[in-house]
Amino acid sequence: MGIVEEAHNVKILGTGDRTIVLAHGFGTDQSVWKHLVPHLVDDYKVVLFDNMGAGTTNPDYFDFERYSTLEGYAYDVIAILEELQIPRCIYVGHSVSAMIGAIASVARPDLFTKLVAVSGSPRYLNDVDYFGGFEQEDLDQLFEAMRSNYKAWCSGFAPLAVGGDMESVAVQEFSRTLFNMRPDIALSVLQIIFQSDLRHMLPHVTVPCHIIQSMKDLAVPVVVSEYLHQNLGCESIVEVMSTDGHLPQLSSPDVVIPVLLRHIRYDIAVDK
């Protein structure tokens, strides 16, 4: 196993001719895809990995300078594909990893046949003529709460992000992976995500993109999916699901898994 593979806990499952890469978002790890993976392994080679900074990775490997922008994570994705000698893949990215995949695809479009973006956003802050869902004051309060008592913040944030019942298995699962992150790393990562603005990059994306979004999502207002659709330089398609929460693949798998499988299997040209 190579250095990159080991650092990111890379797992390869299935034996298909085509490769799918599953990339998780903030506060989770590759286990967030557990409901989807069994439906893929008979037809695809499936690559799972953990983003640096996830609770399952070695915190000593987290380079605060490298990960001061989302490009650091995008170069990790490219490094994983290169180390595994994967010539092209279908990339499924959740939350921040939707945008990380977009950045990687601009740098190396040859590596990607399509992007499937789940709950992704190019900017979380509101701006003139743009609704991202947050004001700077909201974010400052959130960061301060993380600094003052990380465990308490996790307990409060998890049910808000997941949506639905506070006692649900999905909320407990997200609480666990969130709390597994080292607090200073979690704060740094979330600050970089929430302060990022990738709107300028969207016209440069050429790889077809399938945009999948929950009707109700604390982190990403539903209008953001239409903004992506209108501003991406590539062919794109949007599907808004009747789900609640930012981690629908974990909280509403019965609804989400069929949607994901459809977008993975069929190309936009076929859908038209």
Residues annotated as catalytic (active site), given as ranges: 95, 217, 246
SS3 23: strand
> Is residue 20 a contact partner of residue 46, using CB atoms and an 8 Å limit?
yes
Instruction: Please give the backbone phi and psi of residue 179, each rounded to the nearest 5 degrees, phi first.
Output: -70, -20
Nearest by Cα to 236 from 224, 245, 247, 248? 224
> Is residue 154 a contact partner of residue 179, using CB atoms and an 8 Å limit?
yes
Identify the helix (H) or strand (E) that includes residue 103: helix 96-107
What are the strands, taking DSSP E only, across the chain?
11-13, 18-23, 44-48, 89-94, 112-118, 209-216, 236-244
Helix axes 136-148, 150-162, angle to 10 degrees: 130
The type of residue at 71 is E
Question: Where do we find the tokens 């693949």?
Answer: 249
